[in-house]
Structure 1
């Protein structure tokens, strides 16, 4: 069984195993990566060098705590009430 990688826009889009490459409209988008268990979906592929590299990790934004979200909601509510009072609302 061989291991294939589909390359789209210089990135490994899909990895699958098959005895032979099935018929696809663009067979040139697939590479035989048999024996390369280190390659994963999402890896970058350099067409000129034929090398694969892992993508840089995407920084994760810290999530607000429940207390921070509640405080922000309270501030927003107080702002809207104050604004309404200043504009003569009921």
Structure 2
């Protein structure tokens, strides 16, 4: 089947799979079976969940980056803190 990953109302990734992947239940991520849709949506197209339909954007530009999740921001903060601690320890040698 042909699937489309939708993030924040934008067709983000189009791929083929024999079954629905496990990450289909991630909050904020919608997976839609687009097998047989005409016209076939493309990456960057807009998805309207209320009408369950895709539409080409009026102007194609670069895809916006999805907002980081709270967990991703916490992980980045932890990495930055560990990096700064390592730098401080090295400078004290």
TM tier, smaller: 0.5 to 0.7
What do you get for the CA RMSD once the two structures are aligned? Answer: 2.1
Which stretches in structure 2 are left out of the alignment for 5+ residues? 62-93
Q: Equivalents in 1 of 2:34, 2:43: separation in Å?
A: 12
Where does the alignment leave 5 or more consecutive residues of structure 1 unmatched? 60-90
**Residue 7 of structure 2 corresponds to residue 8 of structure 1:** yes
Task: Report how many residues are paired.
Answer: 58
CA distance in 2, matches of 1:29, 1:52: 13
* Cα distance in structure 2, aligned partners of 1:58 and 1:29: 22
Q: How does 1:1-90 map to 2 (within 5 A)?
A: 2-24=1-23, 25-26=25-26, 29-36=30-37, 38-58=40-60
What is the TM-score of this pair, normalised by structure 2? 0.55
Structure 1 pair 32/58, CA: closer, same or farther in 2 (3 Å)?
closer
* TM-aligned CA distance change 1:58 to 1:40, over 3 Å: closer
Contact 2:34 2:40 in 1 (8 A): no
Greater CA radius of gyration, 1 or 2? Answer: 1
1:47 to partner: Cα distance: 0.8
Distance 1:33 1:56 in 2: 21
| Residues 44, 60 of structure 2: 8 Å contact kept | no
